[in-house]
């Protein structure tokens, strides 16, 4: 059995504006950099092999955390297609009542020109299987969508209802992986700092 720990990148201006940023390469904001500077990876995870999403906000977060990861394309954020850069309010103005119906699709919601959470989960599962075959515990600096995909793999969550687990974003999230790639939650919300962790951004 191997372990995977996931850390979400620090905040960006689009996070602060509540915009969907997906695979748009938005850097950390000034506030985001300061927030990440207050984080510290628990020493028991520093010995893991570390990887990072190709996007700059994840790479900068990894740099500020003091790890030297390799790039892992499989853990890039979900592609929101034509929804990239939009806020929920803007999308409701565009789609009207049908936007509420789209949200009820959960894991099968697919924006025009983008990918569904199910597609994200599929590529994350392939990455998990690769790690299981190497038997090397791995740390990753990634995105909200990747952590949600891991929770879905572990619990069967369909993303229609709220997450079965409350997530604080100033945290490390530990998953255990069996030889066959089966994902289990080890421990969520392991604090990266001594302050109260935040579930916002």
- Look at residue 195 in the predicted model and tell me its pLDDT: 56
- Look at residue 196 in the predicted model and tell me its pLDDT: 56
- Look at residue 200 in the predicted model and tell me its pLDDT: 73
Q: Are 70 and 52 in contact (CB under 8 A)?
A: yes
Number of CB atoms found within 10 A of residue 78's CB: 26
Residues of the chain with pLDDT under 70: 194-199
Question: Which residues of 32-178 form beta strands (DSSP E)?
Answer: 49-52, 70-71, 138-142, 171-177
- Look at residue 183 in the predicted model and tell me its pLDDT: 97
- Look at residue 171 in the predicted model and tell me its pLDDT: 97
DSSP 12: B
- Look at residue 101 in the predicted model and tell me its pLDDT: 81
- Look at residue 185 in the predicted model and tell me its pLDDT: 97
Among 82, 163, 157, CA closest to 115: 82
* 116-127 pLDDT tens trace: 999 999 999 999
Pairing of strands 171-177, 70-71: unpaired
Q: Spell out the domains of the chain, with CATH numbers in brackets.
A: 2-191 (3.40.50.1240)
- Look at residue 36 in the predicted model and tell me its pLDDT: 97
Distance (Å, rounded) from C-alpha 114 to C-alpha 83?
8
């Amino acid at each position: 059995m191997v372990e995977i720990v996931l850390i979400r990148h620090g905040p960006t201006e689009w996070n602060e504006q509540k915009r969907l940023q997906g695979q748009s390469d938005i850097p950390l904001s000034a506030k985001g950099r300061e927030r990440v500077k207050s984080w510290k990876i628990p020493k028991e995870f520093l010995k893991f092999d570390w990887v990072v999403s190709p996007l700059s906000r994840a790479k900068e977060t990894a740099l500020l955390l003091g790890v030297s990861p390799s790039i892992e394309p499989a853990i890039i954020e979900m592609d929101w297609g034509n929804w990239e850069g939009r806020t929920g309010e803007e999308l409701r103005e565009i789609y009207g009542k049908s936007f509420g119906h789209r949200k009820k699709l959960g894991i099968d919601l697919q924006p025009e020109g983008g990918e569904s959470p199910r597609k994200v989960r599929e590529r994350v599962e392939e990455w998990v299987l690769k790690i299981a075959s190497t038997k090397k515990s791995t740390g990753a600096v990634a995105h909200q969508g990747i952590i949600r995909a891991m929770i879905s793999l572990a619990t069967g969550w369909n993303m229609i209802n709220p997450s079965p687990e409350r997530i604080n974003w100033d945290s490390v999230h530990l998953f255990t992986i069996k030889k066959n790639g089966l994902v289990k939650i080890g421990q969520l919300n392991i604090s990266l700092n001594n302050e109260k962790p935040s579930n916002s951004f």
